[in-house]
Structure 1
Amino acid sequence: MKSFAALTLFNRTTLAAAGSALALAALTLPAAASAAVVPPGVTLAAKQELVRNNGSEVETLDPALVESVGAANLGRDLFEGLTVTNGDGVVVPGVAEKWEQKDSTTWIFHLRKNARWSNGQNVTANDIVYGCQRFIDPKTASSYGNVYGPFLLNGADIVAGKKPASALGVRAIDAYTLEVRTSGPVPFLPELMSNPNLGPVHRATVEKFGKDWTKPGNIVTNGPFQLKDWQVNSKLVLTKNPNYWDKDHVQLTQVTYLPVEDENTDVKLFQSGDNDMTYQLPTGSYAKYRQQFPNDTRNSLVLGTRYYSFNNRDPLLKDVRVRKALSMVIDRDLLAQRVTADGQVPMYGLMPKGVSGADVSNYEWASWPMEKRVAEAKKLLEQAGVKPGTKLRFAMNTSDYNKKMAIFAASEWKTKLGLATDIESMEFKVLLKKRHDSDYQIARNGWVADYNDATTFLQLVQCKSTQNDNFNCSPKADALIQQASETVDQAKRKQLLTEAAKLVMEDYPMLPLLQYGLPRLVKSYVGGYSLKNPMDHYGSKDLYIVKH
C-alpha cells in the first residue's frame, strides 16, 4: 500500500536463532524509534487529525477477544505490549525498554518505569501477567487462546482446562521485570508479544465494569491513544493519550475510524474529503485511481492470503475429490489480472512469498493447461457422484470486492463444471460467527500474518485451532508441526514446517486464491506511511499530517 510505482514485498529475519544457547545482548532503541519520526524540513499541519477507514465494524475492543484485522488496528492504537512494530514493520521496544534471551525457552523483559495507563497509574509486570493469563484462560473464550497459547509454557494445557491460568509461563520477577518461558524454541517471541492479545490489561477496570469495561468512559488504556467515542456502525474516535510514555513523538491528536465495508462508498468519502485513508480499492479499479490520484495511490503485497474456506463437515464437501475439483478450475491468473487487477499474485498453497520458516509450495497441476485441469476436475466429480446442476452455497461479508471475486468463482464452477452457486452476503461479524459455527458450505476468508513465521498460517489448518474454519484435521501434519516446535535446528524446523504445509494442503481443506495486496488511497499529506510494512500494521502513532 505504497507509492503506486512500487509493488514490493519486504521480508524480515527473526531477531535471533531459536537454538542459540547463549544469552542475546539486551536490545535497546531510542524512544523515537517506536513512534512518528518527522523528517527534517517537513512542516506539520496545525490540525493533527486523521480519518481512516477500518473496513468494517469491529467485533470488540477487548484485547483478549481481538480477532479481526480491524479490531487489531484499534488494539495497537489503544494498547501497547512489551514490544511494538514500527511504521516499517520492525520490532522495537514498547512497554519493555529492553530484553534478553537467557536460553532457547527463557526471555527476560525489562519494563520502562515511565509507562503509564491513561488514568496515570504505572504499567507494571503484573499487568502483563494478568493480560496474558486472562487471554489464555478458557473462561475468557478467546478464539486466539489456542493459537498463541501453545507457544507459552503450559499454555496448551491451560487452554484445554488441564491447568489453571496461573500456571502460564509468564511471571513478574518484580514490578518492572518480566520472565516469559516458552514451551519450546520460539525465535519470533519479541514479535509475537507485539500483538494486542498478549499485552497488558488494567485489572481493576475489568473487575469493576465486567463486560462493559471497554465502553467510553470506562476503558483504561496504555497505548498512544484513548477512546473518546464509539458510535456502532458509524464511527469510533480516539484522542491522544496524555499519559503515554512517548507522547512527545505522537503527532496526531485525534483519529477517527470509519466502519465502511463498501469500497465504492469508501472512495467517495475520500473524494469528498471525509476520509484520509481508504481501506481497500474496489476490484479492477487500481489503474483508474492510480491515474486519477497519482500522488495518493498506495499498493504493496503483504504477508497474507485470500482464500475460500471449504466446510470439510459438509455432506458434499467432505469428499476431497469435490474440494480438489473446485480448486483446480479457478483460473487464478485471470482473477489476478482481470478481476482484481491490483498487483496481487496467484497462490496454490498455504504459504505466501516472503514468509519466514517455510518454503512456498504449489500444487503440481498449477502448471497444467486449463483444459487438462478441467478434464481432471470433471473426472473427480464424476467419481464422487456429483452431477451437473448441483448447487453450491457461498457466504461472504458485504463488499463489492468480495462480490466480484465470488461472482468470478461461481462463473468458473458453472461454465467449467456445470455447478450453480447461491451467493449470500452479510455483515462481517455475522460471517465470522457462521464460519466458527460451521454454518456454511463455502465461505470467503482471508489471513494476514500476525507475525512473520510459517506457524501463523499453519494455524489455519491445524486440527484443534480455533482459526481453522475449514474443520479439517491431519494428525500427520500436526505431528510434524509439533516436531518443529521442539527443535533448535532452524534448517530442520523449516523442513518440517514446509512438509507439514504441503501434506495438509494435499487434502484440499481450503481454496487458496491470491497473495494479499491492499491497494488504497492515502492523502498525500498523510506522512509516515511506509513502503516497508509487510503485515499492513500502520499504527496511528506512526502517522502525521503535513501542512498542505
Structure 2
Amino acid sequence: MKYFATISALALCLSSAAPALAQSDHVPPGTKLAANQTFTYWLQDDLKTLDPDLSTSKDGNDVLQQMFDGLYQQDDHGNLVPAMAKSFEVSDDKLTYTFHLRDENWSNGDPVTAQDFVYAWRRLADPKTASEYAWYIELMQVKNAHDVIQGDKPVTDLGVKALDDHTLQVTLETPIPYFRQMLVLSSTFPVPEKVVEKYGSDWTKPENMVSNGAYTLKSWKIGESIEMTKNDKYWDAANTTLTDLKFIPIQDLNQALTRYQAGELDFVQTPAGQYPRLKKEYPDQAHAPPRSCVYAYRFNVGPNGPEALKDVKVRQALSYAINRNVIIDKILKGGQKPAYSWTHWATAGFKAPNIAYADWTDKERTDKAKELLKEAGYGPDHPLKLRIMYNTSSDHKKIAIAVQQFWKQIGVDATLENFEWKVYLDKLNTQHDFDVARTAWCADYNEASTYLDVNTSWSDQNSGQWKNAEYDKLMKDSKTAADPEADYTKAEQILAQDMPLAPIYAYSLPMLLNAHIKGYPFDNVQLNWYAKNMYRTAQ
C-alpha cells in the first residue's frame, strides 16, 4: 500500500482492577499497568479519508484497523489470526471460500452481518464509488471483479454473497494460495450499510461514524489529531487494555522528535541520519525493524510526461546515476538496504533475481549513466531538464537534493517540487502531472505479487502509466502458475531493463517507541499493529 509509514487508553493498576487484568490474555501475569492507558502515535500526514473503501495509504490502514475488524488480522509474526471469520471452508477446486462469522455488533449496537461485507466489497468495486483501490478486489481474483469495475456488469454480479447473516461466500476466478492473506487490508473491511446510505460521504464524521473494531472514533480535527476511545461493545473488549488512541500528523520529523522527547508522543519515526545517535541515547526506545516497503522514483512515461522519459536509455541513466549507498549510509543511517529490484528483500518466499547493475561499482553505474544519456542526446552541454516531485517531508527533501546532485553529474538539470500530501496525491494519481515522482509501496500482504502487480497496465497505482505487454502477461500467468517465482523473476528483470521506476532503498522503520508501551509487533515484516494487543506499563 502506498506511502507509509504506528498506538493510548484508561487503565487499571489498583486492586479493584485486578479481575479485568486477569482477563487480558496479552498482558503477562504480574505486570503493573499504568493508570493512564493512552497511546499517542505520530503520522507523517493527515489522512485523506477514514472510509475503508477509499483509503489508499499505509497510515490509513494503520488507523482503520484499530476501528474495524475484517475477516482476519495478523499476530506479532505476521501470521493470520481470526477476526470476524471464526472459521472457513474452501472448495476442492479452491475457488469458493465460505466464511463463518462470529457474533459481533457495530458500535451503535446493530449486528454485523455477512451482508455488510457484501455491501462493502460491491461498493469498493462500483465505478460510482471511484475508489483508487478498486483494483485490489480484482487482484483478489473475486469473480467478475474486472467487469464490475469497468462498468460492464452490475455490482450484484460480483462473486460475493451472504448465505445468511453469519455466512459469507466468496467465489474466485482463479485459485490463489495467498487469498486469505489479502483479507487483512482495510479495503476488505465491512462497512455499515444503513449508516453509509443515511449519511453518504458524511458517514465518517465523528458524530455519525459507526465501526466494529476495538476502538471508535471520538474526534477528527483535520491537520491536528484523530482520537479514538475503547469500544465497549467490541467482542474482545475484555482483552483490550489501551483505552484511548491519539494520532497526530506532523510533517517535520525534527519537530516530531522534539515532541516525542517532551513526552507528547509515544511513537515517532526518527529523522534521517539521527538513528545511530538516538540508539545510543535511548537504547531501550530505539528500534529499526525491517519494514516491507520500497522507496523509489517513478518516471512519467504517459501522455503528460516529458518526451525524454519515453526513451529507455534516459530512464536507465537516471536510475544508474542514483548512488544508493550514499543515500543509505550518509543520509538515512537507519538500517535500510539499497534496492535494485522492486520487491522488498524480506518478502516471504522472494528471491531477488540477478540484476546486472546491482553488482557494478558506484563509478561503473555513473559512467554507464553518462554514456547512455549521451547516446540519448543529452549531457553537460545539452542538459536534460526534469522536475522531481515529492510530498512534504524533510527526509524526502534530503533525498531529492541528493538525487538532484547525482543527476547534475551526468548532465541533468533537475528542479524540485514540493507539495502537501493531498495535492501531491492528486498530481500523482489523478492528473499525472509530474516528470519524476517520489513514491513508495508498502506490502498489502506478504507475497511478491503485492509489489509486482502495482506496475501492470490495469493498476490504479501505476501513476507513471507505463505499459508492457510481456510484463502484464507474466503477472496474469503468475495467478495460475503452480510456482509463480519464475514469473516474478522475469517480471523483476523487465522492470530492471525497461526501468519505469528507479528503486532506491528497501525500508526499515527507524523509530523511537516509549519503553512503557508493550506489544508492538517488531517481528511482523509488514508492521501491522493492533492497539488492542498493546498496553502501557507503570513508570
The answer to whether the 8 A contact 1:312-1:318 is kept is yes
- Of 424, 428, 447 in structure 2, the residue corresponding to residue 431 of structure 1 is 424
Partner SS, residue 455 of structure 2: coil
Map residues 397-416 of structure 1 onto 2, 5 A cutoff: 397-414=391-408, 416=409
- Give the secondary-structure state (helix, strand or coil) at the position aligned to 1:513: strand
- Whether contact under 8 Å (1:394, 1:440) holds in the other structure is yes
Q: CA deviation at 1:336?
A: 0.9
User: In structure 1, what is the equivalent of residue 443 of structure 2?
Assistant: 449
Q: 1:316 offset after TM fit, Å?
A: 1.9
Q: d(CA) in 1 for partners of 2:79 and 2:348? A: 14
Quote the residue 1:340 is aligned against: 332
Shift of 1:362: 4.7
Choose from 352, 365, 368 the match for 1:360: 352
Query: Do the aligned residues in 2 keep the contact of 1:87 with 1:542 (CA within 8 Å)?
Result: no
Counterpart of 1:197 in structure 2 is: 187
> How far does residue 402 in structure 1 lie from its aligned partner after superposition?
0.9
Q: CA deviation at 1:96?
A: 1.1
Q: How far did residue 188 of structure 1 move?
A: 1.4
* Residue of structure 2 in register with 1:144 after alignment: 133
Deviating more after overlay: 435-444 vs 84-93: 84-93
3-state SS of 2:498 partner: coil
Choose from 249, 256, 259 the match for 2:239: 249
Contact kept in structure 2, 1:45 and 1:545, CA below 8 Å: yes
Decide whether aligned partners of structure 1 residues 524 and 36 sit closer, same or farther in structure 2, where only a CA change above 3 A counts. farther
Q: Distance in 2 between matches of 1:375 and 1:346?
A: 19
CA RMSD of superposed structures (Å): 1.5
1:79 aligned to 2:68? yes
Match of 2:3 in 1: none
Q: Which residue of 2 aligns with 1:94?
A: 83
What is the deviation of 1:358?
Answer: 4.3
Q: In the alignment, does 2:386 pair up with 1:386?
A: no
CA distance in 2, matches of 1:357, 1:498: 12
SS in 2 for 1:422: strand
Mapped to 1, the partners of 2:348 and 2:142 lie a distance apart of 20
Structure 2: segments with no counterpart, 5+ residues? 1-20
In the alignment, does 2:170 pair up with 1:176?
Answer: no
- Secondary structure of residue in 1 paired with 2:487: helix
Pair 1:311 & 2:300 matched: yes
Q: Out of 521, 529, 534, which is 1:538 matched to?
A: 529
| SS in structure 2 at match of 1:140 | coil
* Equivalent in the alignment of 1:55: 44
Q: Distance in 1 between matches of 2:137 and 2:338?
A: 29
Q: Structure 2 counterpart of 1:400, which letter? A: S
Which residue, out of 504, 511, 514, partners 2:505? 514
Contact persistence 2:521–2:528 (CA under 8 A): no
Which of residues 495, 499, 504 in structure 1 aligns to 2:490? 499
Counterpart secondary structure, 1:361: coil
Deviation per CA, 1:250-289: give whole Å up to 9, x if none: 11111000011111111011011111111x2111100011
Q: 1:300, CA displacement in angstroms? A: 1.0
The equivalent of 1:15 in structure 2 is none
Aligned length: 509
- Other-structure match for 1:159: 149
Give secondary structure in 2 for the equivalent of 1:39.
coil
Please state if 1:422 is matched with 2:411: no
Matches within 5 A, 1:268-347: 268-278=258-268, 280-313=269-302, 314=305, 315-347=307-339
What's the offset of the Cα at 1:108? 1.3
SS in 2 for 1:266: helix
Q: Does 1:233 align with 2:223?
A: yes
Q: Secondary structure at the match of 2:464?
A: coil
Tell me which residue corresponds to 1:120: 109
Pairwise CA distance, 1:400: 1.0
Q: Does 1:527 align with 2:518?
A: yes
- 5+ residue gaps, structure 1, are 1-31
Partners of 2:90 and 2:488 in 1: how far apart? 24
Q: Does the 8 A contact of 2:121 with 2:137 survive in 1?
A: no
Indicate if the aligned counterparts of 1:459 and 1:468 stay in contact, CA closer than 8 A: no
C-alpha separation in 1, matches of 2:494 and 2:414: 29
Report deviation, 1:318: 1.4
- Cα deviation for residue 90 of structure 1 reads 2.0
Distance 2:95 2:495 in 1: 28
Q: Which amino acid aligns with 2:369?
A: A
Displacement after TM superposition at 1:343 (Å): 0.8
Match of 1:3 in 2: none
Aligned partner of residue 521 in structure 2, secondary structure: coil
**Are 1:86 and 1:542, in contact at CA under 8 Å, matched by a contact in 2?**
no
Q: Confirm or deny: 8 A CA contact 2:75 2:81 kept in the other structure.
A: yes
Contact 2:478 2:488 in 1 (8 A): yes
Matching residue of 1:482: 476
Q: List structure 1 runs of 4+ shifted beyond 6 angstroms.
A: none
Q: Hey, what's the Cα distance between the residues in 2 that align with 1:144 and 1:275?
A: 31
For each residue in 1:331-378, what CA deviation from the matched residue of structure 2 results, as whole angstroms up to 9, or x when unmatched? 212211111111100110111112235431253122123333222211
Determine what percentage of the aligned residue pairs are the same residue.
Answer: 35
> What is the identity, as a one-letter code, of the residue corresponding to 2:421?
F
1:396 to 365, 380, 390: 390
For 2:230 and 2:45, the matched residues in 1 are separated by 23
Q: Is the 8 A contact 1:147 1:466 kept in 2?
A: no
Are 1:87 and 1:539, in contact at CA under 8 Å, matched by a contact in 2?
A: no
Residues 76 and 539 of structure 1 are in contact (CA less than 8 Å); yes or no, is this contact kept in structure 2?
yes
What whole-Å deviation, never above 9, does each CA across 1:9-28 have from its counterpart, x for those lacking one?
A: xxxxxxxxxxxxxxxxxxxx
What amino acid is the match of 2:514? K
How many angstroms does 1:497 deviate by? Answer: 2.3
* Greater displacement, 185-194 / 118-127: 185-194
User: What amino acid does structure 1 have at the position aligned with 2:479?
Assistant: S
Q: SS of 2:295's equivalent?
A: strand
Report the alpha carbon displacement of residue 514 of structure 1 after superposing the two structures with TM: 0.5
SS at match of 1:258: strand
Query: Deviation of residue 131 (structure 1)?
Result: 0.8
Secondary structure of the equivalent of 2:254? helix
The amino acid of 2:216's aligned partner reads Q
